[in-house]
Amino acid sequence: MTVQTDVNTIPTTGAEHPATSAEHIRLVEQAAAHNYHPLPVVVAKADGVWVTDVDGKKYMDMLAAYSAVNFGHGNTELINAAKAQLDSVTLTSRAFHNDQLGPMCAALAELCKMEAVLPMNTGAEGVETAIKTARKWGYTKKGVAEGKAKIIVCSENFHGRTTTIISFSTDSQCRNGFGPFTPGFEIVKYGDIDALKSAIDENTVGFLIEPIQGEAGIIVPPDGYLKQVREVCTENNVLFIADEIQAGLGRTGLTFACEHEGVHPDIFILGKALGGGIMPVSAVVSSREILSVFTPGDHGSTFGGNPLSAAVARKVIEILNTREYQDNARDMGAYLFERLRAIKTDKIKEIRGRGLWVGIEFKESAGKAMPYCKKLMEMGVLCKDTHQQTMRLAPPLCITREEIDWAVERMEKVLA
């Protein structure tokens, strides 16, 4: 089929730069693919937990780019690290070494109490890398017959949007129109240890799980579940793969969400906040034995481990080692939950989460979450819905008690 492009719909390169929010949004609608439906805010500047639109209106960011901006907008330490590296070298590819990659990998391995790091760029690339790691480990280390490796995943998961990853999604919108799908996955109920036990067979190489499910609505598993997962995976020689792309790096009040149950996975998948809100950085972190399944040429990325990203990630790790942001996430998270649960309303079904990661699920009778998000936007608070009924809050981890009070006062007016 030949597709004829209407040249009259293509914006001219000589068009003046948009001046207002409405003009910016109109240009995006005209020139960009419609694969997102953002709130009608056009951010031009940002600092800490605050953003300012092109019209000069100020908002509190209660989403933090889905945890990518954990350390606040315009974090001076991170910006300075990036600026310094910009004056040195930004990209060599992995055809050569650079002076930032080794120190970054060593620091990240130490943070994770692991031995080796495989750097990539996006979270989805990290998940794809972990899948390839588990499969090759199954064939070369566990003795699974070639082409038979199985990875168990959870219902309502969100690990990315590549063809392989959506193959094991239970979200129909992620899948519709994108088949045929990649085989080799089995879906079990999240939080159900018996379902995991029943699904494991001799071909099972890994169990891929979010220690707290983000896109599903900030779903925290039952107490003790992750400990049971660790035990079951160890007993059956199955890799425990923790997707901490959103949950990790301080969001829940500890460096990793798995730490809340004192468990250590075989593989960490990290991303989002690892790039400090500046660069896309992701990584698979594991033991030397597991990551030794890769030999030169097996897997890679032109931009993975580039010196600019590595320099920023090194500073992120340095910041995390102070534990300042983790402690603030724990303390301010507890205060945020206290304030939210004190709101007198009959609209809320449940408030759940951990640290500075909150899901407010509305009763069916109260309607969908999006209208509440839009009302809050009008009052200067930016957040977003997920799975229609849930509003999620995930502010930068530098938020203060006074800023929480400011946000909750507006939420009370919308929710009460």
Q: Are 167 and 202 in contact (CB under 8 A)?
A: no
Q: Are 152 and 204 in contact (CB under 8 A)?
A: yes
Please choose, from the candidates 307, 348, 353, 355, the residue with its C-alpha nearest in 3D space to the C-alpha of residue 330: 355
Q: Are 49 and 405 in contact (CB under 8 A)?
A: no
> How far is it, in rounded angstroms, from Cα 254 to Cα 395?
16
Please choose, from the candidates 226, 267, 31, the residue with its C-alpha nearest in 3D space to the C-alpha of residue 135: 267
Question: Which runs of E-coded beta strand occur in 140-219?
Answer: 150-154, 185-188, 204-209
What tokens does 208 get? 């891929």
Q: Where are the alpha helices (DSSP H) in 187-293?
A: 193-199, 225-235, 288-291
> How far is it, in rounded angstroms, from Cα 113 to Cα 264?
9
243 is catalytic: yes
> How far is it, in rounded angstroms, from Cα 342 to Cα 324?
27
272 is catalytic: yes
Among candidate residues 136, 168, 243, 303, the one labeled active-site is: 243
Among candidate residues 158, 207, 256, 268, the one labeled active-site is: 158
> How far is it, in rounded angstroms, from Cα 138 to Cα 337?
42
Among candidate residues 272, 362, 384, 385, the one labeled active-site is: 272
C-alpha triplet 346, 351, 357: angle, nearest 5° = 145
Give the 3-state secondary structure of 289-320.
Answer: HHHCCCCCCCCCCCCCCCHHHHHHHHHHHHHH
What tokens does 239 get? 């890799």
Q: Is 68 helix (H, G, I), strand (E, B) or coil?
A: coil
> Which residues are catalytically annotated?
158, 243, 272
